Chains A and B, each alone.
Chain A
Amino acid sequence: MDIQTTAQIINFLAAMVLLTAFGMLVQRRIYGLIHLFAWQGLFLSVSTAIVGYAAGRHHLYISAVLTLTLKVILLPYILNVLIHKLKIRKEIETVVNVPLTMLIGIALVIFSYSLTAPVREMSTLVTRSILAIALATVMIGLLMMITRRHAVTQIIGFLAMENGLFFAATSATYGMPLVVELGLFFAATSATYGMPLVVELGVAIDILIAAFIFGIFFFHINTTFDSLDVEQMARLKEGE
């Protein structure tokens, strides 16, 4: 594969990651949301492997396999089990209506693009343009956490955010500490050549443990409030 084809495939996968992020933003059904999350993980994993191949950084293969097992198989499975046990069936309530959320999402993409434009000018990497997509994915995940009322969807938003960070760290900056310059909060973990393996393993396990803790939390919230709607938690007393 020549470098242009590789860059094109990576760009296409980046576009798919962004598309799945938007898909999650507008998806009402919770199972559909989990499927989209799994797809996003798959695109991430494939693009990580391709970046690893193209840049000759073979530890990225391990990242790709980790992403695949964790974000495509394990986390969706855990979430599925959770939803099954908590008997969540109904459609998800959103705080802001869907078309407006989409427009905000578009604005966020434009914002991330303009924010990363100087970095793009400086960088010489083939994958430099992906940084904007990764940042947009992070922001859309954040937007999803804000616009959804349901605790489970908020968690999926959080996980989608993490996907964006991972994307930035592995695909966009495999050769340069660009992310550090951006001063984002994940800067510490994204070192020069992708994330160092130890850090990456740590992050992966963090996410896994977070998922377990969320699960336990959900059970507790559910038994206390009889619902996972976070609006319920705004009140202090029952029956107001």
Chain B
Amino acid sequence: MKFLPLLMEIMQLLLLLTAAPVFAGWVKMVKCWSQGRTSPSLLQPYRDIAKLFSKDVVLAENASWIFRFTPYIVFGATLLAGGIIPILSVDLPLSATADVIALVALFAIARFFTALAGMDIGTAFGGMGSSREMMIASLAEPAMLMAVFTMSLASKSTSLSQIAYVIANSNIHTVLKPSLAFAFLAFVMIAIAETGRIPVDNPATHLELTMIHEAMILEYSGRHLALIEWAGMMKLFLFMSLGAAAFFPWGIAGAGNMAAIPVALIYLIIKFAFAGVVLVLIETGLAKMRLFRVTEFLGAAFLLATLGMLAHFILE
């Protein structure tokens, strides 16, 4: 393996680990501003994670190995997903081994183990959270795959590096395709559902009637919780960078082009700052949906993704 792509890969993983909490802090900050509150600092998520790492783990007596392993599996799967998505550069060695379908599967593994761990302890909340999460997953994943297929139809590849490269180097006629617009809308809706944001789930609540993701990880503490929270922030970051790579890849560094990395970083910061604002606008603009409306929400996402695919065949 060549040295340069490897370096790129390591840089990207480090960026993911460090920037994900900052992005989570940024979203929180913009949200506070939009609601007229004083916001915690951008580095607050770091402090939260550090605090959790220094605390002891409290394990339930009947917790099995699944419960203890899940945080590491979730963290590992999310980190691996970060190795596939081109964030700074399209030149990633891991991106050649796993395409966007494998990416969906990686997120599915993390979710599967989280759901298992939720049921492992045997508390009512855990089981409830798991069943809700699985319901959402069963609707979100087909829609996600459909959106992914539409993206890959436009660039004729399921490799994310290839998708980002084709879109970044195409003229205006490729970019203004209706199929991509549909796929993007679908993707935004799926990303909201997958990362557990309002209107599907509220990451800031522990209200028993509404929580989904929080209900599954309610029993976690200490370093386990820290890993899961960190993985959650990384997942949000990854979905944003997936959207950026597939639909707005401009500024991303080409293969073997180290000099373009600083520029790519600046582009990335601008894109993410903007994405955070959009996310907050969606979150403050909408109320959380009733659980049974989520099927319609994700059904609409599936519809949009399918329409995107049909639009590709009908109109392009």
Residues of A near any B CB (own CB < 8 A): 4-5, 8, 11-12, 14-16, 18-19, 22, 26, 98-99, 102, 105-106, 109-110, 113, 129-130, 132-133
B48 at the interface (CB under 8 A from A): no
Given B178, B296, B302, which contacts A12 in the complex, CB threshold below 8 Å? B178
Binary interface encoding of chain B residues 294-316 relative to chain A, with 1 for a CB under 8 A from any of its CBs, else 0: 01100110111011001101111
The answer on a CB contact under 8 Å between A113 and B173 is no
Contact: B303 with A102, CB < 8 Å? Answer: yes
B295 & A99 in contact (Cβ 8 Å cutoff)? yes
Contact between chains at B176 and A22 (CB < 8 Å): no
A-side contacts of B307, CB under 8 Å: 15, 18-19, 22, 106, 109
The 8 closest A-B pairs by CB, nearest first: A15-B178, A99-B299, A11-B315, A102-B303, A132-B314, A12-B178, A129-B315, A15-B311
Which B positions have Cβ atoms within 8 angstroms of A?
Answer: 172-173, 176-178, 181-182, 295-296, 299-300, 302-304, 306-307, 310-311, 313-316
Complex CA gap A14/B182 in Å reads: 12
Contact of B315 among A14, A105, A110 (CB under 8 A): A14
Q: Is the CB of B173 within 8 A of A11?
A: no
With both beta carbons as reference points, the residue of chain A lying nearest to B315 in the complex is identified as A11
Residue of chain B at shortest CB distance from A113: B314
In the assembled complex, the Cα of A128 lies from the Cα of B299 at a distance in Å of: 30
Other A-B contacts than A11-B315, A106-B307, 8 sampled, CB-CB below 8 A, are A12-B176, A16-B178, A19-B304, A26-B303, A98-B296, A99-B295, A99-B296, A129-B315
Q: Which residues of A contact B306 (CB under 8 A)?
A: 106
Task: Using known A-B contacts A8-B173, A102-B303, determine if residue A133 contacts B315 with beta carbons closer than 8 Å.
Answer: yes
Known contacts being A4-B173, A12-B181, is A105 close to B303, with CB within 8 Å?
Answer: yes
A10–B153 Cα gap in the complex (Å)? 21
Chain B proximity of A49: nearest CB distance (Å): 19
In the complex, chain B residues whose CB is within 8 Å of the CB of A18: 307, 311
Nearest CB of chain B from residue A67's CB, rounded to whole Å? 21
A26, chain B: closest CB distance, angstroms: 7
Cβ-Cβ contact count across A and B, 8 Å cutoff: 58
Which residue in A8, A16, A98, A105 is a CB contact (below 8 Å) of B176? A8
A29 to chain B minimum Cβ distance, whole angstroms, is 13
In the bound complex, residues from chain A placing their C-beta under 8 Å from that of B182 are: 15, 19
Residues of B within 8 A of A8 (CB): 173, 176-177
Residues of A contacting B314 with CB < 8 Å? 109, 113, 129, 132-133
* A interface secondary structure, majority: helix
CA distance A4 to B174 in the complex (A): 11
Cβ distance A209 to chain B, nearest Cβ, rounded Å = 34
Q: Which residues of B contact A4 (CB under 8 A)?
A: 173
Task: Name 20 A/B residue pairs within 8 A (Cβ), A-sorted.
Answer: A4-B173, A5-B172, A5-B173, A8-B177, A11-B315, A15-B181, A15-B315, A19-B182, A22-B303, A26-B300, A26-B303, A98-B296, A98-B299, A102-B299, A105-B303, A106-B310, A113-B310, A129-B314, A130-B315, A133-B315
CB-based nearest A residue for B298: A99
CB-CB < 8 A to A11: which residues of B?
178, 315-316
Least CB distance from A115 to B in Å reads 12
Residues of chain A lying within 8 A (CB to CB) of residue B311 = 15, 18
CA distance A26 to B295 in the complex (A): 13
- Taking CB atoms, residues of chain A closer than 8 Å to B300 are 26, 102
Bound-state CA distance A109–B311 (Å) is 10
Q: Which residues of B contact A98 (CB under 8 A)?
A: 296, 299
Establish whether residues B173 and A109, one from each chain, have CB atoms under 8 Å apart when the complex forms: no
Cβ of B181 to closest chain A Cβ, rounded Å:
7
Taking the nearest CB of chain B, how far is it from the CB of A66, in angstroms? 26
Are B296 and A26 closer than 8 Å at their CB atoms? Answer: yes
Q: Distance in Å from the Cβ of B187 to the closest Cβ of chain A?
A: 15
Q: Which residues of B contact A129 (CB under 8 A)?
A: 314-315
Distance of B310 from chain A, by nearest CB (Å): 5
Chain B residues near A110 (CB, 8 Å)?
Answer: 310
Residues of A within 8 A of B295 (CB): 99
Q: How far is the CB of B308 from chain A (nearest CB, A)?
A: 9
Q: Which residues of A contact B172 (CB under 8 A)?
A: 5
Bound Cα distance A99, B297 (Å) = 9
Take A98-B296, A113-B310 as given contacts and tell me if A106 and B315 are in contact as well, using a CB distance cutoff of 8 Å.
no
| Residues on A with beta carbons closer than 8 Å to the beta carbon of B303 | 22, 26, 102, 105-106
Distance in Å: Cβ of A167 to nearest Cβ of chain B: 13
Residues of A within 8 A of B316 (CB): 11
CB distance from A153 to the nearest CB of B (A): 17
B48 CB → nearest A CB, Å: 38
Residues of B within 8 A of A132 (CB): 314
